[in-house]
Amino acid sequence: MDVNAAVAALAAIAGVCTGVIAMLAFRWSERDHARPTRSSLHTDAVLPPGVDTVLSVLRSSAVVLDESDSVVKASSAAYALGLVRGGKLAIEPMLNMARDTRRDGEIRQVELDLARRGSGRGEALAVSARVAPLGSRLVLLLVEDLTEARRIEAVRRDFVANVSHELKTPVGALSLLSEAVMDASDDPEAVTRFAGRMQIEATRLTNLVQELIDLSRVQNDDPLDDSEPVSVDELVAEAIDRSRQPASTKQITMVSGGAAGLYVWGSRGQLAAALGNLVENAVNYSPARTRVGIAARRVAAPAGDVIEIAVTDQGIGIPDKDKERVFERFYRVDPARSRATGGTGLGLAIVKHVAASHGGEVTVWSTEGQGSTFTLRLPEAGAARDRRPASSATPDLMTEPLPAPEVLP
């Protein structure tokens, strides 16, 4: 009996001890949970109210540093630019700016060139960094990527410089020729000769100004504003008619063929200017008594049928090194020949922009001494596909013979 009582007493004592230990453990857990941790110090509790929300909507890359230069908050853009690595600010000049601002409270700004991450070509990112104090302990760093803005500015400067150079040439020639006419006022033959040269330079100047206007128009106008189904047959006929006179002068035969009844969707004026430029270039850069061909066909594509309009000449061709640059503004493979033909170097730039704005592209195949083929690819007009009878089959340029071509003297 005494043994059972002793066992019961021990069991009671053990139960009381267990309860006390459990209560102490619970209280310790509650107090430990309420104690601020290192990570919680570096979250929203440290940032002033509303700062986290503001940083999340900023377009600039944002980084918040504490008094030990640890990153408290960083936007995803900051990680993408490589500003933050391993919880630290990885750009030494920015880190020095942050320390100086923390010391004296002054706002600082600087522009830097940073190495592009993952690029072995030595390309640099141009950024603008601005550092400002955020409360008494934190420093805010805002970084804006200026790379694209600088690229656009460089393109603008090059464009202005090229335009100035191109305008200066005919204007200078006109000035010299006018002086020559004045000096040769008593020589009718010389006056006639100089007046003819003045007309050539004036025409060149007029063409340059017109192409600048056309380029500005296609860049500013949205082709979707006045889009309509445009007949490819009419575009080809208009382009041929535009170059009929220079082709006749050089005895160049222009031939049109391929599939008939095709339609593309877009701005008729822009598409006519683009195809007209391709045909005009083919005539200008072809020797006398050769042929220029314009053919259209439909090509199946995953996103919908595509209309290809190919312009082929038997001209001087384009060297391989120049094929990627012929669509640049003012770029000319042979500047001397371009001056002789009146080329401005803007025609293909206009073609490229029109093709891109219509959801298409323009490509070139060329062999020196044999000729070139420029192919304009544009989405087919959906309304035209719906309008086309199911039984009508359009001949393919690659598999079926072409219809009788239209030969224009």
Buried b (16+ CB within 10 A) or exposed e, 145-167: bbeeeeeeeeeeeeeeebbeebe
pLDDT of residue 383: 40
pLDDT at 149: 85
Which has the higher per-residue pLDDT, 236 or 13?
236
Whether the predicted pLDDT of 377 surpasses 90? yes
Q: Using an 8 Å Cβ cutoff, are 70 and 139 in contact?
A: no
- Residue 378 pLDDT: 94
Q: What is the rounded radius of gyration, in angstroms, for the C-alpha atoms of the chain?
A: 37
Task: Give the least confident one: 117-126, 140-149, 192-201, 314-323.
Answer: 117-126
Please identify which residue in the block is written with the tokens 């087919």.
380
**Sequence letter at residue 223:** P
For 284-336, the pLDDT digits (tens) are 888 999 999 999 999 988 878 899 999 999 988 888 888 878 887 777 665 54
What is the mean predicted confidence (pLDDT) over 159-171? 77
In the chain, % of residues over pLDDT 90: 23
The pTM score is 0.54
Letter for the amino acid at 211? E
Per the CB < 8 A criterion, the answer to whether 307 and 298 are in contact is: yes
Q: Rounded to an integer, what distance in angstroms lies between the CA atom of residue 64 and that of residue 72?
A: 5
* C-alpha span between 137 and 54 (Å, rounded): 19
pLDDT digits (tens, 9 = 90+) for 90-127: 888 899 999 999 888 899 998 888 876 654 445 678 88
Query: What does the alpha-carbon distance between residue 130 and residue 83 come to, in Å, rounded to a whole number?
Result: 13
Q: CA-to-CA distance for 21 and 25, rounded, in angstroms?
A: 6
Residue 44: its pLDDT value, please? Answer: 43
Taking all residues of the chain, what is their mean pLDDT, rounded to a whole number? 77
Any idea which residue has 């933050």 for tokens?
Answer: 84
215-231: average pLDDT: 74
> Which pairs from 383-387 meet CB under 8 Å and 24+ separation?
383/229, 383/263, 383/265, 384/229, 384/262, 384/263, 385/305
Cβ contacts of 195 within 8 Å, gap of 6 or more = 181
* Average of per-residue pLDDT across 146-173: 79
pLDDT at 55: 74
Is pLDDT larger for residue 359 or for residue 5? 359
